[in-house]
Amino acid sequence: MSASSPIRPVLPPDILARKGGTPLVVLTAYTTPVARLVDPHCDIVLVGDSLGMVLHGLPSTLGVTMDMMILHGRAVMRGLSRAMAVIDMPFGSYEEGPREAFRNASRLMAETGAPSVKLEGGAHMAETIAFLTARGVPVMAHIGLTPQSVNTLGGYKVVGRDAEAQKVMADAEAVAAAGAFAVVLEKVPEGLSARITQALPIPTIGIGAGARCDGQVLVVDDMLGLFTDFRPKFVKRYAELGAAASEAIAAYAAEVRDRQFPGPEHGFADVLPPKGAKP
Ligand code: KIV
């Protein structure tokens, strides 16, 4: 998009201004064609590190690298003209300290063109979030279930029931005070996520966190029925594209074996018809 483009892209201050308004629509994308599909409908497109599991067949997000995020981030940016991109900081690229986080966040932004990053963690990441935002890196935080910590959390469990609720609330308040422009609440009980949404001055984006958040995010391959290895309870399938693709591929295979494909309409004549002749 050029500076004179008539379509102004969504930017972090626009997202912040949507607090308490019409719910924010967020989906993931990892490729140019999917970015083109979601762009007209979404406020934010997340280049999530879920791409490690969804696209690359990894067992968790822990093996995702900076190079993978940059490759997919560039592809997504080519497909967006309106929605705001957020790019995930992969495991190991920001936890050591604010300076390492800035080095890698600025690389993600410079090499992809994405205007913001997301990182996982609550109060213990507040110093890093403040360091980044003070230096021109808009940060979306991610608390509750943080998949990069699956090994310390002991699985992909709901986070914030009973006594744990206080810690999740403290995490939410800490990332907001540090300057995050929005926060993802993943697998947080509904009542708690409603209280957090009410308490914070920044938008909450829920995934498995109930309907009272300021917005919702889903992994696009989950909601389209393209990723079927497992199905979290919070996923609603809006299409069954995986099943439709399987049927189409089986039909192609059968037609090739029966010599039904290609048909005459898919081939090329040996001799060109004379100019002006009807095809
Ligand atoms: O990586 C991802 O796709 C995410 C969303 C599930 C929020 O972090």
Q: pLDDT tens digits for 110-130?
A: 999 999 999 999 999 999 999
Segment 205-223 shows an average pLDDT of 98
Outline where 47-189 has alpha helix (H): 51-54, 66-79, 98-112, 126-134, 150-153, 164-178
Residue 5 pLDDT exceeds 60:
no
Ligand 1 centre to CA of 217 (Å) is: 8
Task: Determine the Cα–Cα distance for residues 185 and 264; give it in Å rounded to an integer.
Answer: 55
Most ligand 1 atoms within 8 A of CB, residue of 184, 188, 231, 234 to mutate: 184
Q: What does the pLDDT read at residue 8?
A: 67
Q: Is the CB of 54 under 6 A from ligand 1?
A: no
Among all chains, which residue has been given the structure tokens 């995930």?
88
pLDDT tens digits, 14-30: 999 999 999 999 999 99
Check residues 183 and 229 and name the one with the higher pLDDT.
183
Q: Whose CA is nearest to atom 4 of ligand 1?
A: 48
Segment 135-153 shows an average pLDDT of 97
Most ligand 1 atoms within 8 A of CB, residue of 27, 45, 119, 219 to mutate: 219
CA dihedral 93, 148, 125, 218 (to 10 degrees): 110
Q: What does the pLDDT read at residue 278?
A: 63
Q: Is the CB of 148 under 6 A from ligand 1?
A: no
**0.85 exceeded by the pTM?**
yes
Ligand 1 centre to CA of 159 (Å) is: 16
Ligand 1 centre to CA of 247 (Å) is: 29
Q: Whose CA is nearest to atom 3 of ligand 1?
A: 48
In sequence order, the 6+-apart residues with CB closer than 8 A to the CB of 20 are 214
Check residues 244 and 230 and name the one with the higher pLDDT.
244
